[in-house]
Amino acid sequence: MHHFLIIEKQPVIVAGLTSFISTGFPSAEITSVAPEDLNAEFLYLNYNCYILGVGTVVAENDALISDILEHQNNARIIIFTNETNTLFARHYLRKGAKGYIAKNVKKEEFLTCLITVLGNSIYLSNDIKEALAENYVDNKTASKLDVLSKRELEVATMLAKGLSNNEICAILKLHSSSVGTFKTRIFEKLNVKNIIELRHFAQANNMILG
């Protein structure tokens, strides 16, 4: 019998994931916990699969992944996310995740992801695979976005989504001057002049959904 741990703070998302899993694995045991409540009591149980609904702050997500792998070094972790940026996908796979799947996928693809990851293989959402294939052909994301640091990528993605400097400060716990500095660096590195150009760049390079 499979035992899944859903790490997600939104009850409606937990309910949906639970329903999906129960459809494909009727006898499965399904436990859920908010990211901030994840502790050793959960991790020592060594679940068959961890489904991690990642938040906006990459460092916090990295810490969760590290905590899981510290207790179970061969853990099967699926990143469940709104981010279709291929750089984020590559980052989390390097950190040890086995799957990276968008939150808008249909039940059938989600179950395919579970089966693939439980078989100890890597699974990526179709849109991520297409973006990676496109980037492989023309190398555009690797040559342009890899110049950004992890923090710059976070800020750039939020700016492109229309978040204000104050909102970014609150989410990333940064001083307003720091966000301004990151913004200047991002514009310089990506050779864009304003937020509109940044958003166009982001859409073209799979940083955000259109």
106-164 confidence digits (pLDDT tens): 899 999 999 999 999 999 887 777 766 666 555 554 556 678 888 888 899 889 888 99
Mean pLDDT by 10-residue block, N- to C-terminus, for the chain (210 residues)? Answer: 93 94 94 90 88 83 90 91 77 91 88 94 82 60 68 89 90 89 91 90 70
| Model confidence, pTM | 0.72
Residues in contact with 63: Cβ distance below 8 Å, sequence separation at least 6, in sequence order: none
Q: Which amino acid is at 82?
A: N
- From residue 142, alpha-carbon distances to 29, 156, 184 in Å are 40, 16, 21
Give me 114's structure tokens.
């579970």
The Cα 49–Cα 21 span in angstroms is 11
Please, are residues 86 and 131 in contact by the beta-carbon 8 Å criterion? Answer: yes
Q: Is the CATH code 1.20.140.10 the one for domain 140-204?
A: no
Residues in contact with 68: Cβ distance below 8 Å, sequence separation at least 6, in sequence order: 43, 50, 52, 75, 77
- Architecture, CATH, for domain 3-133: 3-Layer(aba) Sandwich (3.40)
For the chain, where do the domains classified as CATH 1.10.10.10 start and end?
A: 140-204
Q: What is the DSSP letter of 146?
A: G
For the chain, where do the domains classified as CATH 3.40.50.2300 start and end?
A: 3-133
Residue 67 falls in which region: left (phi positive, over 0), alpha (psi -120 to 50) or beta: alpha
